[in-house]
């Protein structure tokens, strides 16, 4: 009981006293010497308490008794209620946590090495209906799998792409190959136009 009063009540009273003195500006009040002295006294008490806490920490590391000044002043220690009782420790949760941590680290290591377009092109045929025609497949961009807003053709295979998808992929990968037929893309052409735009690989 006394430990709770000293640990909780003492810290609360000291925090409220510090906030009140800071609000009243006891440290800046030159016209009120009593408030100024109280502020200096509070600073000295706080400094002595920190020094005593540091000394108590060193003693605790050496002896292993009394973690803080409150326990030392009250002679309070943590003891086992039944010191001879057998304790069955289960490491199942710890093992499961270690497995998930290792699995997440492996994923974080491997995911940046995977080519997203290659994975999408590999998994896309399995996710589509077998009865879908090639025209329906060619009507969407094989990179973002959406209907192209600005349609461009990859040359020489003439498969349809979004302009931004095709331009970004050709700029990032100089030897970019078509995601549908795996042919090297040497140029790109706007759908319905005869003007060809060379890629950076040329």
Say if CB 144 and CB 165 are below 8 A apart: yes
Last residue of one domain, picked from the residues 36, 58, 74: 74
178 in a structural domain: yes
93 in a structural domain: no
Last residue of one domain, picked from the residues 74, 98, 117: 74
Number of domains within the chain = 2
Is the confidence at residue 19, as pLDDT, over 80?
Answer: yes
Last residue of one domain, picked from the residues 74, 90, 124: 74
96 in a structural domain: no
Is the confidence at residue 202, as pLDDT, over 60?
Answer: no
Is the confidence at residue 102, as pLDDT, over 50?
Answer: yes
87 in a structural domain: no
Residue 170: which domain range?
133-198
pLDDT at 99: 82
pLDDT at 115: 65
61 in a structural domain: yes
- Cis status, amide bond into 23, omega within 30 of 0: no
pLDDT, tens digit, for every residue of 46-70?
889 889 988 888 888 888 788 888 8
Q: What is the CATH classification number for the domain harbouring 148?
A: 3.30.40.10
31 in a structural domain: yes
Q: What is the DSSP string of 28-67?
A: T-SS-HHHHHHHHHHHHHHHHHHHHHHHHHHHHHHH---S
126 in a structural domain: no
pLDDT at 137: 59
67 in a structural domain: yes
pLDDT at 132: 44
Determine how many CB atoms are found less than 10 A away from the CB of residue 61.
8
When pLDDT is cut at 50, 70 and 90, the band that residue 131 belongs to is very low
């Amino acid at each position: 009981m006394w430990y709770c009063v000293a640990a909780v009540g003492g810290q609360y009273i000291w925090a409220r006293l510090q906030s009140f003195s800071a609000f009243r500006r006891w440290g800046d009040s030159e016209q009120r010497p009593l408030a100024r002295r109280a502020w200096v006294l509070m600073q000295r008490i706080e400094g002595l308490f920190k020094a005593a806490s540091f000394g108590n920490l060193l003693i605790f590391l050496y002896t292993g008794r009394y973690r803080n000044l409150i326990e030392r002043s009250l002679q309070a220690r943590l003891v086992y209620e039944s010191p001879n009782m057998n304790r069955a420790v289960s490491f199942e949760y710890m093992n499961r946590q270690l497995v998930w941590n290792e699995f997440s680290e492996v994923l974080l290591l491997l995911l940046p090495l995977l080519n997203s377009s290659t994975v999408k092109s590999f998994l896309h045929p399995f996710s589509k209906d077998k009865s879908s025609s090639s025209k329906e497949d060619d009507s969407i961009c094989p990179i973002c799998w959406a209907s192209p807003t600005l349609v461009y053709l990859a040359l020489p295979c003439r498969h349809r792409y979004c302009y931004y998808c095709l331009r970004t992929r050709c700029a990032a990968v100089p030897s970019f190959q078509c995601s549908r037929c795996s042919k090297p893309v040497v140029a790109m052409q706007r759908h319905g136009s005869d003007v060809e735009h060379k890629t950076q690989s040329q």
